[in-house]
Structure formats: C-alpha cells, structure tokens
Structure 1
Amino acid sequence: MQPPTTALLARGAATFLLGAVVGVLGTLMHRAIRPWGLVLCVLLVLVAVLTARAWGGWPTYVGAVGGLFLSTQVLAGEGPGGDVLVPGTDLWGWGWLLGALLAVVLVALVPRRWVQDDPAPGGSPGHPLP
C-alpha cells in the first residue's frame, strides 16, 4: 500500500462530507413517503458509498462511511426539546439504520475489479504498448 498523499486525504475529507450529507438526508427523509422514502434513502447510501470506494479505494470508502454513521447517530439521538427523528420502537427507523448498514456492507463486499479502472488493452501498468 502506498503512503497517503495530500490528494487522497482531500478525497477522504470530501467523501466524509458526502457521507454526512447522505446521513442527514436519509435520517430526515426516510419516513417522507412510505415506503419509497426509505427505499430511495437506502439507494442513496448505496450509490454514495460505492462512488466513494470507486473514487479512491478504501480510504475514501471509510471516509464516506464515517460521515454517514456519525451524522446518522447524532440525529438519531434525542434532541434538546426531546424530539427523536429515529425512534427505537418504529420499524421505519430500524429499516433506515439496518438498510444503510446493509448497503455499506454490500459495497465492502464488491469485488475490486468492479470499482477499479482497467489498464489499457494489451499493455500492463508501467509497460506501455510498443
């Protein structure tokens, strides 16, 4: 594994923000239009985390997952007025939390070749065609 570069750290920070935005949107909107709000929010998690993994590999994947779960956990707790966006007794809230977790695990299990660019046909990396 190569040491982290400034570009990779910047991508990790960008995907952390992406994950945080997806977590906020999903936590706020998973109950909007039942059941489609939940389905769309889980699909949004799947696409965002897959994009993060394809963009920079595991460091950007971890950044997106960290942002997603940090924002989801902060918003799932009790607010200052006692409001709860994801009640523990509600199946929609459990569907959101477990659906997001399932999407994250599925992306982690995706083969590397699905998210990695292929080298030029006939050549190998570092060895251009004659």
Structure 2
Amino acid sequence: MTTSKRDITLAVFDHTLSAGLGLFIAALGTTIHRQWQPYTLIALLVTIVIATIMLRAWRGLSLVIPFGAAIIITVQVLMQSGPGGDVLLPDQPISYVWIIGSIATVGLGCFTPRSWFRDEKVTRTSTTVA
C-alpha cells in the first residue's frame, strides 16, 4: 500500500490540529480553573474527556497522543512562576485537581470502549429459554 503526499499532509495537519486543541484547552483551563468553583473546573474536565473521545473517534489513538502531550506540557509550563513571581496554579487543592485531573481525563477518554467507535451495526442475538 502506497502512501500519497496528500495522505501525509492530512496526517500532519490532523496531528497539528490535535496538539493545538490540547494547547488551547490546557491554556484556557489553567487560567480560568479557579473561577466559579467548582463548576468551571468540572466543565473543563468534561471538555477534555469529550475532546479525547472526539479525537479517538475521528482517527483513533494516534490523535490522542499529541493532544495529551500538549495538555501535559502546557499545564507544566504554565505551572511555573512568572517573571514577577506570579503563579497561575497556586498551592491550593483545586489547582492540584486541575493538574492531576487534566491528565486523568485524557486517560479516561482513552479507555472508553472500542465498540463506541465502530461504524458497523452491532446485532444482538437473543436466546429464549423454553
């Protein structure tokens, strides 16, 4: 099977888009996770699960890898103190929930059942007991 230049270009675009989505969600989540506690945090974690499931349904686990890597790297970079000593993730429980939860929710999306992403119809046979 030969791989065309168009297929490679689409794969690079898909992976770049996946990483960009992870970077956007992680940057947004890191800056607003403490607003309207705990509702914003819950919405952000649900967004990560939904995005992971969407990416997995779109192209499989190959798109989840750059998405998860972008989330982990972005959260870790934004966790550092800024030039003036400001921090976006202070030493508070809700910040730890965001740090650990953002990684855990990507894993949760990875462990969803494979049958959710099949296109063929699943038929169930019923057994009758006489």
Q: TM-score, normalised by structure 1?
A: 0.81
User: Aligned residue for 1:106?
Assistant: 108
8 Å contact from structure 2 (residues 71, 103) kept in 1: no
Spell out the pairing of 1:39-50 with structure 2 (5 A cutoff): 39-50=42-53
Corresponding residue for residue 83 of structure 2: 80
C-alpha separation between the residues in 2 aligned to 1:56 and 1:9? Answer: 12
| CA deviation map 1:63-92 (0-9, x unaligned) | 1111111111111111111111112x2101
Q: What does residue 98 of structure 2 align with? A: 96
What's the offset of the Cα at 1:107?
1.0
Equivalence for 2:13: 10
Q: Which residue of 1 aligns with 2:119?
A: 118
User: Which residue of structure 1 aligns with residue 127 of structure 2?
Assistant: none
In structure 2, distance between residues paired with 1:14 and 1:117: 23
Amino acid at match of 1:44: T
SS at match of 2:119: coil
Runs (5+) with no aligned partner, structure 2: 123-130
* Amino acid in the other structure paired with 1:41: L
Residue pair 1:15, 1:60 contacting (<8 A) in 2 also: yes
Q: 1:120 to 1:44 in 2, by over 3 A?
A: closer
Provide closer, same or farther for how the CA distance between residues 5 and 111 of structure 1 changes in structure 2, counting only shifts above 3 A: farther
- Unaligned segments of structure 1, at least 5 residues: 122-130
2:33 aligned partner = 30
Which of 1 and 2 has greater Rg? 2
State the identity %.
Answer: 29
> 1:64 is matched with which residue?
67
Q: Answer whether contact 1:22 1:48 (CA < 8 A) is retained.
A: no
User: 2-side partners of 1:12 and 1:117: how far apart?
Assistant: 21
